[in-house]
């Protein structure tokens, strides 16, 4: 789709049926901004009704909800279902880890999913880059906390006695 945009093609209709035969699929239009053209969400829902355990459809719908609709809660549900359908898919695990970090700021949970993703897809540069980006971001947050004079390091909390004159 991005290549087509570079060539000046901004709207594509995908469909089967009608005069071409091949089933009763409706056409779906992808708009210029990649947003919700007419029927995209309905298309995903129909595909999931027909194939409820298909990890690719679950992941794609979760990604649509996350990126196009900004519905993080619903995207989390569909990423979870995609992981249940294919627990060794590094791309799904990586996307879910990113969502967990953005939605919950749960570093331990996100780290666990990123580690599983990296193990499942050691050759996938997108998965590895997402994990590296997460590590970079969390390290920066830790550094900013360490440099904050109002934050007392955990080791010193119990060792500090109140000053008495």
Q: What is the pLDDT of residues 138-153, one digit of tens each?
A: 998 887 777 777 765 5
Range name among 30-44, 52-66, 125-139 with the lowest pLDDT average: 30-44
What's the whole-number mean pLDDT along residues 102-126?
98
What's the whole-number mean pLDDT along residues 57-66?
97
Query: Which of helix, strand or coil describes residue 12?
Result: strand
Q: Where do the H-state alpha helices sit in the chain?
A: 2-6, 40-50, 55-67, 72-85, 90-104, 107-120, 125-146, 154-157
Does residue 24 register a pLDDT over 80? no
- Look up the CATH number of domain 51-146: 1.25.40.10
Q: Which is higher by pLDDT, 66 or 147?
A: 66
Residue with tokens 């087509």: 4
CA pair distance 78, 60, nearest whole angstrom: 9
Q: Which is higher by pLDDT, 27 or 57?
A: 57
Q: Which part of the chain has CATH 1.25.40.10?
A: 51-146
pLDDT score of 41: 93
């Amino acid at each position: 789709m991005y290549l087509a945009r570079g060539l000046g093609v901004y709207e594509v209709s995908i469909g089967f049926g009608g005069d071409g035969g091949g089933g009763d699929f409706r056409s779906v239009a992808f708009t210029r901004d990649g947003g919700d053209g007419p029927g995209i969400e309905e298309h995903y829902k129909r595909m999931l009704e027909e194939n409820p355990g298909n990890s690719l459809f679950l992941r794609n719908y979760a990604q649509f909800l996350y990126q196009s609709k900004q519905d993080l809660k619903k995207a989390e549900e569909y990423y979870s279902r995609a992981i249940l359908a294919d627990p060794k898919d590094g791309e799904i695990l990586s996307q879910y880890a990113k969502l967990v970090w953005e939605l919950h700021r749960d570093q331990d949970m996100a780290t666990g999913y990123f580690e599983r993703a990296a193990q499942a897809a050691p050759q996938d540069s997108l998965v590895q880059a997402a994990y590296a980006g997460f590590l970079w971001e969390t390290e920066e947050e830790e550094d900013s906390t360490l440099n904050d004079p109002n934050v007392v390091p955990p080791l010193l909390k119990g060792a500090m006695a109140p000053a008495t004159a």
